[in-house]
């Protein structure tokens, strides 16, 4: 069977997310009962760990946010701030630059989106917030979080996403409108910031007065792949800009960037330990030739809501997808050599909670940031090479303090790497037991 038959050919737009609905009824935010009008999503009763519960007891209402913004926050189902939100939101509101480190899935996106939305001045008609991310999917996902949190701020059309792999001209047209927040990948944004034609006074992306710059997955953005574009963009922004860096991992090389760009900043580090409390980690010691068979056994045994399988190359992703589909398990695949439209369609379909295809095989383009709440199992079909990649990969499960499972296929050649990663992360990856208790994931 051709694996493409699993793709749903439903039409889709630029974003693979459902667009936040525009409020249909006018809400009177002066009404003292405004909170009763919030249409909260169904309460999530799953167990959560102290990674998100260990708070000081702050409330969103205590941050002095506007009522329309609070309404967006509560409608998204955020009841109380997570530890990183509690720590970062007040600092950002006070105008400080920050370098914030917190575990995967603990709410970093909300931690910068909420104060940025609050600080956008509706009277100023220029770009006020620039959010940089390392992948296109992550940019679209983040723009959507901003749009849903800011649903009542009338910013929907004023938040523009611009990433590589899409038509440059249409980005230029969209940036001509009244834009307040731009979310995108550094390469495309750099092109738009420097491109000037003979008649234009400004480049299509005018960030001369943009006072707030967010680098999410900051360590990736400061790697050699992205750093030149990131610094070029920073050069266009005002000297007194507020710079917000977020990630679960920061390498020591951040120091030189910090010395140059972040002379005065608040450091928030909520990572006294590195791995998520809710994610159980196991390894299966296998021969390369046994991996597919082992995967088949896992599919039959585990209760999988949704699952991501990581391979170390594009070829291996496609090959594995063919094999798994032949075994009777429908799956999608995604990698960086696919066209953007195709990538969007696959990801859009996969993230539907009721998708009839619950497995996604991918390369490391999906290692970071991707947030799929129902995803409870991550399988490293190929073991990653670095501890940071491992940490980000397994962080795709166990979102917002929930339980999750990470299973690693370890060949003879991976043994030393597994030990090194265990030591680096100060964690233990146990041998896979015959039965895995379903309450663990
Ligand atoms: P990170 O950026 O740290 O990896 P995300 O910002 O993607 O994490 O958040 C992970 C998940 O937690 C998302 O599905 C998000 O909607 C949810 N979430 C974030 N903050 C809260 C909150 N305060 N209350 C409930 N859920 C939240």
Q: CA 171 to CA 308: how far, in whole Å?
A: 31
Task: Name the residue ranges covered by the structural domains of the chain.
Answer: 27-269, 279-440
What SS3 state is found at 407? strand
* Residue 81 burial (CB count, 10 A): 26
Residue of the nearest CA to atom 26 in ligand 1? 78
Q: Is the CB of residue 371 below 6 angstroms from any atom belonging to ligand 1? A: yes
Sheet holding 129-132, edge to edge: 159-162, 181-184, 129-132, 212-216, 242-247, 98-101, 266-269
pLDDT at 59: 96
pLDDT-based confidence at residue 24 (cuts at 50, 70, 90) = low
Residue of the nearest CA to atom 9 in ligand 1? 107
* Residue 108 burial (CB count, 10 A): 26
Whole-number Å distance, alpha carbon 2 to ligand 1 midpoint, is 36
Residue of the nearest CA to atom 22 in ligand 1? 78
Residue 236 tokens read as 């266009």
Question: What CATH number is given for 279-440 in this structure?
Answer: 3.40.50.300
* Residue 291 burial (CB count, 10 A): 20
Q: Which residue has the tokens 């990948």?
A: 185
Q: Which residues pair with 310 in a beta bridge?
A: 362, 380
Q: Which CATH class is domain 27-269?
A: alpha beta
Q: Which residue has the higher pLDDT, 9 or 44?
A: 44
pLDDT-based confidence at residue 15 (cuts at 50, 70, 90) = very low
Atom of ligand 1 nearest to the CA of 107: 6
Residue of the nearest CA to atom 5 in ligand 1? 107
pLDDT-based confidence at residue 10 (cuts at 50, 70, 90) = very low
Q: Over 50: is that where the pLDDT of 11 sits?
A: no
Q: Is the CB of residue 105 below 6 angstroms from any atom belonging to ligand 1? A: yes
Pair 132, 210: CB distance under 8 Å: no
Do domains 27-269 and 279-440 share one topology? The answer is yes
Residue 433 tokens read as 């037991």
Q: CA 271 to CA 269: how far, in whole Å?
A: 6
pLDDT-based confidence at residue 251 (cuts at 50, 70, 90) = confident
Beta-strand ranges (E) seen in 296-403 are 306-310, 332-334, 359-362, 375-380
Atom of ligand 1 nearest to the CA of 373: 14
Q: Mean pLDDT across the stretch 134-142?
A: 95
pLDDT at 8: 37
Q: Over 80: is that where the pLDDT of 18 sits?
A: no
Q: CA 144 to CA 252: how far, in whole Å?
A: 32
pLDDT-based confidence at residue 31 (cuts at 50, 70, 90) = confident
The tens digit of pLDDT for each residue in 257-275 reads: 999 999 899 999 998 889 9
Q: Is the CB of residue 271 below 6 angstroms from any atom belonging to ligand 1? A: no
Q: CA 382 to CA 286: how far, in whole Å?
A: 11
Q: Is the CB of residue 398 below 6 angstroms from any atom belonging to ligand 1? A: no
Whole-number Å distance, alpha carbon 246 to ligand 1 midpoint, is 14
Q: How many CA atoms are closer than 13 Å to the CA of 88, on its beta-carbon side?
A: 32
What SS3 state is found at 441? coil
**Backbone torsions φ then ψ of 170, nearest 5 degrees:** -70, -30
CA angle 433/437/441 to nearest 5° reads: 110
DSSP state of 120: -
pLDDT at 142: 97
Listed as own residue / partner, the contacts of 420-428 with beta carbons closer than 8 Å and 24 or more positions apart are 420/387, 421/384, 421/386, 421/387, 421/390, 424/387, 425/274, 425/275, 425/387, 425/390, 425/391, 426/273, 426/274, 427/274, 427/275, 427/281, 428/281
Residue of the nearest CA to atom 2 in ligand 1? 108
Whole-number Å distance, alpha carbon 107 to ligand 1 midpoint, is 4
Mutate to test the pocket of ligand 1, among 109, 375, 393 (most ligand atoms within 8 A of CB): 109
Mutate to test the pocket of ligand 1, among 110, 148, 249 (most ligand atoms within 8 A of CB): 110
Atom of ligand 1 nearest to the CA of 85: 23
Atom of ligand 1 nearest to the CA of 102: 3
Residue of the nearest CA to atom 24 in ligand 1? 78
pLDDT at 4: 41
pLDDT at 23: 54
């Amino acid at each position: 069977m051709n694996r493409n038959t699993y793709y749903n050919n439903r039409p889709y737009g630029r974003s693979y997310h459902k667009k936040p609905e525009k409020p249909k009824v006018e809400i009177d935010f002066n009404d003292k009962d405004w909170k009763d009008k919030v249409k909260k999503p169904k309460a999530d009763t799953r167990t959560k760990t102290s990674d998100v519960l260990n708070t000081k007891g702050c409330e969103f209402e205590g941050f002095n946010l506007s009522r329309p913004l609070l309404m967006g926050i509560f409608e998204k189902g955020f009841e109380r701030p997570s530890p990183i939100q509690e720590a970062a939101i007040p600092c950002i509101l006070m105008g400080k630059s920050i370098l914030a480190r917190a575990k995967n899935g603990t709410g970093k996106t909300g931690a910068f989106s909420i104060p940025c939305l609050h600080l956008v001045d509706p009277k100023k008609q220029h770009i006020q917030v620039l959010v940089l991310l390392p992948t296109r999917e992550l940019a679209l996902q983040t723009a959507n979080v901003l749009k849903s949190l800011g649903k009542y701020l009338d910013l929907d059309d004023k938040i523009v996403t611009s990433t590589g792999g899409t038509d440059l001209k249409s980005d230029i047209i969209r940036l001509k409108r009244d834009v307040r927040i731009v979310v995108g990948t550094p390469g495309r944004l750099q092109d738009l910031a420097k491109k000037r034609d003979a008649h234009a006074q400004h480049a299509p992306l005018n960030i001369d007065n943009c006072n707030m710059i967010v680098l999410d997955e900051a360590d990736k953005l400061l790697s050699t792949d992205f750093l030149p574009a990131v610094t070029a963009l920073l050069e266009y922004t005002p000297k007194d800009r507020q710079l917000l860096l977020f990630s679960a991992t920061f390498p020591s090389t951040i120091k030189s960037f910090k010395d140059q760009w972040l002379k005065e900043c608040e450091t928030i580090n909520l990572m006294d330990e590195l791995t998520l409390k809710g994610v159980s980690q196991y390894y299966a010691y296998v021969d390369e030739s046994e991996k597919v068979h082992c995967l088949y056994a896992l599919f039959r045994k585990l209760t999988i809501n949704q699952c991501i399988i990581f391979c170390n190359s594009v070829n291996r992703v496609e090959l594995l997808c063919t094999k798994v589909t032949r075994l009777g398990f429908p799956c999608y695949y995604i990698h960086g050599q696919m066209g953007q439209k195709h990538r969007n369609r696959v990801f859009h379909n996969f993230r539907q909670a009721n998708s009839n295809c619950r497995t996604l095989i991918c390369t490391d383009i999906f290692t970071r940031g991707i947030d799929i709440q129902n995803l409870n199992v991550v399988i490293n079909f190929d073991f990653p090479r670095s501890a940071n990649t491992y940490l980000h990969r397994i962080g795709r499960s166990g979102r917002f303090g929930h339980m999750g499972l990470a299973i690693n296929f370890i060949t003879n050649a991976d043994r030393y790497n597994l030990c090194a990663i265990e030591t680096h992360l100060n964690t233990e990856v146990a041998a896979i037991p015959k039965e895995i208790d379903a309450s663990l994931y």
